[in-house]
Amino acid sequence: MEREPSEMSASEFIETFGHVFEHSPWIAENAWFRGLGARNDTAAGVHEALCNEIRRASQEQKLELLRVHPELGVAMGGRELGESSRSEQLRSGLDACTAEEYAEFQRLNASYREKFGFPFILAIKGYHRKQILQIFRQRIEHGPEEEFQAALAQVMKIGLFRLQELFA
């Protein structure tokens, strides 16, 4: 970054941070228009500003934010993923699933989406595919509101990881 986030124009800020949350540049746009200060010139500071916009969003906006996330395990299925999502899934070994693991991901993805209306979301950094499957199996047993809140928390965690990479 050439300039501190608080010194960026709206277009510069949205260009730099609009991809942090999957297909949701409105979050960065809203944060910029709400105003940024020197406290927002770190990964944690930008994260706070962006997450505050998610918290302020309507229930429908939050649901749409969840719905635009890719399913886990699609890195090996030939589906289009954003650059960040693809590299995150590859680093966790999701491209090296056995046929049985791939089939389980597909089954869990379908069951989860049917039950909750959005894809399973997990900040997978530091997890291996076997651990991801174990967490997936546990979370699919949650109730709707518990899982909605868990998914939003994971979206925010993913955002923090992406911001930390940007600021590194």
The answer to whether residues 97 and 161 belong to one domain is yes
- The range of the structural domain enclosing residue 134 comes to 71-167
Same domain? 86 vs 162:
yes
Residue 19 a catalytic site member: no
Q: Tokens in use for 94? A: 């999701």
Identify which of 76-90, 119-133, 135-149 has the greatest average pLDDT: 135-149
Examine residue 138 and state whether it is found in any structural domain, yes or no: yes
Looking at the structure, tell me whether residues 102 and 159 fall in a common domain.
yes
pLDDT band at 151 (very low <50, low <70, confident <90, very high): very high
Reported pTM: 0.90
DSSP letters along 37-71, please?
Answer: -GGGSSHHHHHHHHHHHHHHS-HHHHHHHHHTSPP
In single-letter form, the type of residue at position 69 comes to H
The phi and psi torsions of 8 (rounded to 5 degrees) equal: -80, 150
Q: Are residues 52 and 82 in the same domain?
A: no
State whether 84 and 157 are in the same domain. Answer: yes
Q: Could you tell me if residue 62 is inside a domain?
A: no
Q: What is the pLDDT of residue 72?
A: 83
pLDDT for 91 beyond 80: no
- 7-29: pLDDT as tens digits: 999 999 999 999 999 999 999 99
Q: Are residues 79 and 144 in the same domain?
A: yes
Q: What is the per-residue pLDDT for 94?
A: 81
Give yes or no: residues 83 and 156 share one domain.
yes
* CATH code: domain of residue 90: 1.10.3330.10
> Which pLDDT tens digit goes with each residue over 39-87?
999 999 999 999 999 999 999 999 999 999 988 876 545 455 566 665 6
Catalytic residue among 23, 47, 69, 142: 69
Are 162 and 81 contained in the same domain?
Answer: yes
Shared-domain flag, residues 148 and 77: yes
Query: What percent of the chain clears pLDDT 90, i.e. is strictly above it?
Result: 79
